[in-house]
Structure 1
Amino acid sequence: MTPSETPQPDSQIVLYDTMQRQKVPFVPSVPGRVGMYLCGPTVYSDAHLGHAKKEVAFDVIRRALLHFGYTVRYVTNVTDVGHLQNDADEGEDKLQARARLEQLEPMEVADKYFWSIARDMDALNVLKPSINPRATGHIPEQIELIEELIRRGHAYESNGSVYFDVRSWPEYGKLSGRRLDDQEEGTREAVREEKRDPRDFALWKRAEPGHLMRWESPWGVGFPGWHIECSAMSLKYLGEGFDIHGGGLDLQFPHHEAEIAQAEAAGHPFARYWMHNNMVTVGGEKMSKSKGNFTTLKDLLAVHDPMVIRFLLVSSHYRSVTEFSEAAFESARSGYRRLTEALHEVERRLPTAPGRDDPALRQKIAGHVQAFEAAMRDDFNTPKAIAALFGLTTDVNAALNAGEVGREALEAARTAYRTLGGEVLGLFAEGAAEREDDTEVVSALMDLVLRARQHYRLNKQYAQADELRDTLAAVGVTVEDTKEGPRWRR
């Protein structure tokens, strides 16, 4: 199969299911269609590289499923209420705390950082979700789910708040493998007095008089707990027994564990596969806002090509740690440059390539395409997929350096780069529509410049020829003089 063909849904994909703790064949509930839910951002501050890893990792998984012929409904939520500062049931709401700090309304904070994060994700070429629901827009669905849990005896009201009774659901802990009796108990006396068990978690919290985000409910004025939001929104837009639920490894417990308990205890079959990305580390320690060892994407985008950032993230497997360092960025920059230079050289030569076939090269290209797709079928192994692209680059460069290459082989190489590296891995965003339209213009202008430089050299006007070469070098274009004539590359 070549990338230019329209593939049928592929039954050979295997993925690592956190619940089963092993790789398993992926079989969607509806043939040819995939429902995916990703826990999205809490919109109270700018995103950092750790957030980007999650977004890019699942963006690649989505793209791969599309490449293999599936129709994908991809839902990513926005948490704009209910996420408290200690990620549990105590502390101030993160948005309200930021609103007080910046002297804004909470929804001003939510909109400010929602669009800030959206712009960062656009820069990293992350596809927009099919549906991007906000927690504050789904309060009725959350209240309805809580009422069902109370009716079934799995939740209780206490002093205007509602808590999930973990003792009523013996399966609580099955995702993380934590036995209920081994789970850490709270120590605050106030928590013990309000809850039947300190491990019970909030479904609805009573709003104190000064709380800015508040809704009417059967239990009084309050706001939803963090966990109930994702259960309600994923079930609303993907239905019972949807295919894939994703998120960061740090959300496995308690957030995802709570999501499962809430949904299933209310009688709703929940996600069939659970996928978790690993963390970005700095000096071996997880990058996080709470530890202060983070670098915002805005700061990184100010000094790094966004595609180099994306290349760094896809160079490690989604289940592996990604180490943040300047050395890692330099390696990513070098690797990405190698691929893009080969792609640009292929595209530069295509318009004037001879109309012959090079079957040996085309066979090598097809082999690298197969290796790439095999890697992505195996739990979306992006490092092996990139290795296949480097293998493609080695063979293409060898052929280009040996002389002219036929148009069919060049077109096959270009299709492989653009389809596998561009559409599946999401790289080569510099070749987006507006730049794609400019490719022919740039090539024509560069041919004029090279002819002018060659004219200067033939007339021994070396200073002018060198000036042209140096001007091009200053904007990242290298001119090489070969026996076939001058060539340029970015």
Structure 2
Amino acid sequence: MHLYENQQIKIYNSLSGEKEVFQPITKGYVGMYVCGPTVYSNVHLGNVRTFMSFDMIFRYLKHLGYKVRYVRNITDAGHLENDADLGEDKITKKARVEEIEPMEVVQRYTVDFHNVLRTLNFLSPSIEPTATGHIIEQIELIQTIIDNGFAYVVNGSVYFDVHKYNESNEYGILSKRKLEDLIHNTRTLDGQSDKKNPQDFALWKKAEPTHIMRWPSPWSDGFPGWHLECTAMSTKYLGEFFDIHGGGMDLKFPHHECEIAQNQAAKGKTPVKYWMHANMLELNGARMSKSTGNYINPAELFSGENDKMSKGFTPGVIRFFMMQASYRSILDLTNDGLLAAEKGFNRLMEALGNLENLRTSESSSFDVSEWKQKCYDAMNDDFNTPILIAHLFEAVKYINQVNDNKASITEKDLELLKSTLNTFTFDILGLVNSQASDAGTDKLNAAVELLIKLRKEARINKDFALSDQIRDELAQAGITLKDGRDGTTFSVK
């Protein structure tokens, strides 16, 4: 029997504006798509927060026993900035500035993206498709939309006809925007003459002679529209109607709105049952922006090499800080907030360490089973991690009382407390015990220093065979020794 049969989740569905009981399309299976990064620069910390929210959701669904197919794409086909109709795409722009190939830009920042997420203990998605790997699917999708009468070709570019679509569908169903209001608020811009209406959006753009990233199509050598990529990749791997589509709040309009329109126009059905949107991450009470200087990237946050924070913070602390807020709440990243999170994180880790030394009694002064269900209830209420963390600290308080002989716990309850705390702390919230890893590093350093000392003694005694054996076997284990004027140092791969 799977846990999900006893735990009923409610999800806030952006489409209905209400919390709804989660009922997967196919019992026991969940298909989830999350819009991934456009890889033209180091991953934005706000995006990290969004991906962390869905990593936590992925972890919880898996914990409950669902078989989850989690698809998170990489946008490596540079669309125009802000999905405009004129200008240069972000990837090509970066390539020109650095005088390298666009795919070198893509490779560099895809690696950075993966490294940051790995450092913060993310699980890998089930599938990570790239936009450039699905050009054929996108061309086929465009042709279907044209055949169904919802798109038109002008001078080698293809545009989605929003007004035609709105005659039989509702453009704005997700963002709650009315087409009439969009028309009223749209300025007529030079260069939009190819479109029938300013609200129409590109499905395929004919490439200008200077545009590097281009592919052949029935309409022109060009490149796909930004919105189209996600429709093609999500439906390819999850089907024409799937369970969850997630992303940042900033993608609700126009990106997700256009995804709905494209799928409806091509397949005649809405693509997603539950739309989920993670809220913004601010820095010191204001929007993060490179142009204003109110910005910090993940590496600077880890190292402390920045002018925004008083020190560096471990991945475990950063993750704990982000989990202290609901994924639907705006979260303000501040030095004081991180310092407070560090204290809380350390208290939690210390309590987990004390679990091993608790003395058991014949009775418990705390209902562990009831507390365990409260932890599930928090997660079942739209993945309410701040309430879950509050419950975890109820257990911390209880552990400290038992440790001080001011409360009691039975052996059975202790085992239940251990397993539940470890499950919610590490498996579901995805926290990393940096104290344990630091202790492990200290032990490794001590062991290698001892071997360096033994190797030095062997060389003094002219036992070069033993000296070489220590060096070579350490190298096989990924530890390189370097002899210098001031002694021997080592590095770990």
TM-score for both structures, normalised by structure 2: 0.83
Kept in 2: contact 1:18–1:275 (CA 8 A):
yes
Partner of 2:216: 216
CA distance in 2: counterparts of 1:62 and 1:265, whole angstroms: 30
1:178 Cα deviation (Å)? 0.5
Paired position in structure 1 for 2:454: none
Structure 1 position 104, deviation (Å) = 1.3
| Structure 1 vs Structure 2 CA RMSD | 2.3
- After superposition, the Cα gap between the structure-2 partners of 1:8 and 1:275, relative to the gap in structure 1 and judged at 3 Å, is closer
CA contact (8 A) 1:50 1:288 kept: no
For residues 102-121 of structure 1, the aligned pairs below 5 Å read 102-121=98-117
1:190 and 2:191 are equivalent in the alignment: yes
User: Is residue 385 from structure 1 mapped to residue 381 from structure 2 by the alignment?
Assistant: no
How far does the alpha carbon of each residue in 1:252-289 deviate from its partner, in whole angstroms, 9 at most, with x for none?
A: 00000011100111115301110001001124332244
Summarize the Cα distance change of 1:222–1:377 in structure 2 as closer, same or farther, 3 Å threshold: same
How far apart are 1:48 and its partner, in Å?
2.7
CA distance in 1, matches of 2:251, 2:291: 15
Deviation at 1:211, TM superposition (A): 0.9
Question: Does the CA contact (< 8 Å) of 2:240 and 2:267 recur in 1?
Answer: no
- Structure 1 residues 185-222: Cα deviation after superposition (integer angstroms, max 9, x where no partner): 2432211x110001100000111111110100000100
Unmatched runs of 5 consecutive residues or more in structure 2: 304-311, 448-493
Q: Does 1:321 align with 2:336?
A: no
The 1:431–1:15 alpha-carbon spacing in structure 2 relative to 1, beyond 3 Å, is: farther
Q: Does residue 174 of the first structure (1) align with residue 178 of the second (2)?
A: no
Amino acid at match of 2:259: E
What is residue 310 of structure 1 aligned with on the other side?
319
Could you say if the C-alpha distance between residues 61 and 326 of structure 1 is closer, same or farther in structure 2, counting changes exceeding 3 Å?
Answer: same
Deviates more, 1:225-234 or 1:103-112: 103-112
Distance 1:408 1:308, change over 3 A: same
Residue in 1 that maps onto 2:237: 237
Deviations 1:437-483 (A, max 9, x none): 969x99xx9xxxxxxxxxxxxxxxxxxxxxxxxxxxxxxxxxxxxxx
Task: Tell me, in whole angstroms, the C-alpha distance in 2 between the residues paired with 1:436 and 1:34.
Answer: 37
1:280 counterpart residue number: 281
| Matched-pair contact (CA < 8 Å) for 1:9–1:70 | no
The whole-number CA distance in structure 2 between the counterparts of 1:280 and 1:389 is 24
Letter in 2 for 1:335: G
AA of the residue aligned to 1:391? E
Distance 2:7 2:438 in 1: 34
Question: 2:264 aligns to what SS in structure 1?
Answer: helix
TM-score (norm 1): 0.83
Equivalences for residues 110-189 of structure 1 within 5 A: 110-170=106-166, 171-183=170-182, 184-189=185-190
Decide whether aligned partners of structure 1 residues 358 and 43 sit closer, same or farther in structure 2, where only a CA change above 3 A counts. Answer: farther
Counterpart amino acid of residue 113 in structure 1: Y
1:205 aligns with: 205
Tell whether the 8 Å contact from 1:16 to 1:23 is kept in structure 2 after alignment: yes
- CA 316–8 in structure 1, closer or farther in 2 if over 3 Å, else same: closer
Q: Once the 2 structures are TM-superposed, how far is the Cα of residue 377 of structure 1 from its aligned partner?
A: 0.3
Distance 1:17 1:6, change over 3 A: closer
CA contact (8 A) 1:359 1:409 kept: no
Unaligned runs of 5+ in 1: 446-490
Please name the residue that 1:34 is paired with: 30
- For residues 401-456 of structure 1, the C-alpha deviation after alignment (integer angstroms, 9 at most, x for no partner) is 11896654443332122101110111135499xx69969x99xx9xxxxxxxxxxx
**Match of 2:248?**
248
Matched position secondary structure for 2:383: coil
Partner of 2:376: 373
Using the TM superposition, give the Cα deviation of residue 291 of structure 1 relative to its aligned residue in structure 2, in angstroms. Answer: 5.0
Q: 1:431 to 1:231 in 2, by over 3 A?
A: farther
The question of 1:344 aligning with 2:353 is answered yes
SS in 2 for 1:190: coil
Give the CA deviation at 1:77. Answer: 0.4
CA distance in 2, matches of 1:431, 1:364: 29
CA distance in 1: counterparts of 2:435 and 2:156, whole angstroms: 55
Question: Counterpart amino acid of 1:319?
Answer: R
Q: Which amino acid aligns with 1:96?
A: T
Kindly state the Cα deviation for residue 337 of structure 1 after the two structures are TM-superposed.
0.8
Q: Assess if the C-alpha contact under 8 Å between 1:82 and 1:225 holds in 2.
A: no
> Deviation of residue 65 (structure 1)?
1.2
Q: Is the 8 A contact 1:10 1:69 kept in 2?
A: no
Summarize deviations over 1:91-127 as a string: whole Å, max 9, x none: 2111011111111111111111011011100111111
Q: Does the CA-based 8 Å contact 1:85-1:93 persist in structure 2?
A: yes
The Cα offsets for residues 362-420 of structure 1, whole Å up to 9 and x where unpaired, read as x5332322111101000110100000000011111101111896654443332122101
How many residues end up aligned between the 2 structures?
429
Using the alignment, how far apart are the partners of 1:32 and 1:298 within structure 2?
38
Letter of the 2:341 counterpart = A
- 1:207/1:214 contact within 8 Å kept: yes
